[in-house]
Amino acid sequence: MNQMHTNSSEPDTADIVLFTVHDDGAALAWPRARAQVLLVQRSWDSDAYPGALALPGGFVDDGETSVQAAYRELREETGLEVPTLTRVGRYDAPGRDPRGPVVSEAFTTVLSTMPQPTAGDDARAAFWVPLHEALSVPKVLAFDHHQILTDAHTLVRDQLNQRCGWSTAAGWARAERGGRDMTNGNEWHLRRKKSMWDGSVTTWCGLRFESGEHESDFWHLPATGGTCQACQAAKRTGK
Ligand SMILES: O=P(O)(O)OC[C@H]1O[C@@H](O)[C@H](O)[C@@H]1O
């Protein structure tokens, strides 16, 4: 469907950035996980960027929201259904689409599986591409899709790194903080945090309340380890 919503603040099109960190049949196999992104090859009959590589996407139909269009376009162009989509942003730079002022809204999600896409509608082909390859050649993607991909990557990388699991505490220490004795039972401890995105490990230090329910005041430590000021203070005072 190809309708431009001129004089409207509603987006005209929706684009989808679908990532997977699936690797060799072992979901989230750290640290081998290699991110991939789903691309399509546009039809040779397209009135913009015929035959070019692009993110899946298309025009919003009448009566449809942009996110509904995103789910539909993903299904029509790649045969894939996803459970959720997160908004990346709105793209309205003049000249982003050679056909005129076309405003696009982009959505993203990360899969832990790597389903086989089936090209349909106005996509000639649909396939997974290593993310680093797609990011490294800006001019290869149609429209401003390289910018959309870059923004989606930043968004999901930060989210995945926040959500990723804590592994075993590397060290424990009772602590004083700024000379104030923490409530009995509260503990400072080091934890190593492994990124779901690239498998990199960082070390953090934080406070765990006795209830075990809350963790706060985390310090990011060098990858080589070490202790934060609170743990150093604890060592000195022997608490
Ligand atoms: O694929 P068709 O329907 O030609 O146009 C949709 C594309 O037009 C671009 O502005 C959008 O980013 C979207 O990907």
State the distance between the two ends of the chain, measured CA to CA, in whole angstroms. 68
* Cα 71 off chain centre by: 17
Q: What is the rounded average pLDDT for all residues in the chain?
A: 73
Determine the average pLDDT of the residues in 127-135: 89
Residue range 194-219, pLDDT digits in tens: 566 666 665 555 554 444 433 443 44
Residue nearest to atom 6 of ligand 1 (CA): 58
Count other C-beta atoms under 10 Å from residue 185's C-beta. 11
Examine the pLDDT at 49 and tell me if it is beyond 90. Answer: yes
CA distances from 123 to 134, 191, 219 (A): 18, 46, 47
Note if the bond before 117 is cis, omega within 30 degrees: no
Question: Is the model more confident about 231 or about 92?
Answer: 92
Ligand 1 center–CA 143 separation, angstroms: 8
| pLDDT of amino acid 187 | 47
CATH number (3.40.50.720, 3.90.79.10, 3.40.50.80, 3.30.413.10) of 13-164 reads 3.90.79.10
* pTM: predicted TM-score of the whole model, two decimal places: 0.71
ipTM given for this complex? 0.98
3-class SS of residue 198: coil
- Counting ligand 1 atoms within 8 A of each CB, the residue from 6, 10, 15 with the most, and so the one to mutate, is 15
Residues 6+ apart with CB under 8 A from 237: 176
Closest CA relative to residue 80, chosen from 123, 46, 42: 123
CA distances from 164 to 6, 130, 156, 157, 185 (A): 42, 21, 12, 10, 26
- Counting ligand 1 atoms within 8 A of each CB, the residue from 1, 3, 13, 74 with the most, and so the one to mutate, is 13
Angle at 115 between CA 25 and CA 155, to 5 degrees: 90
**Distance between CA 148 and CA 114 in Å, rounded?**
21
- Of 22-31, 70-79, 92-101, 198-207, the poorest mean pLDDT is in 22-31
Counting atoms of ligand 1 from 1, which one is nearest the CA of 57?
A: 14
Residue nearest to atom 5 of ligand 1 (CA): 58
| pLDDT of amino acid 202 | 59
* Site residues for ligand 1, CB cut-off 6 Å: 2, 13, 15, 46, 48, 54, 57-59, 97, 102, 104, 122, 143
- Counting ligand 1 atoms within 8 A of each CB, the residue from 45, 77, 104 with the most, and so the one to mutate, is 104
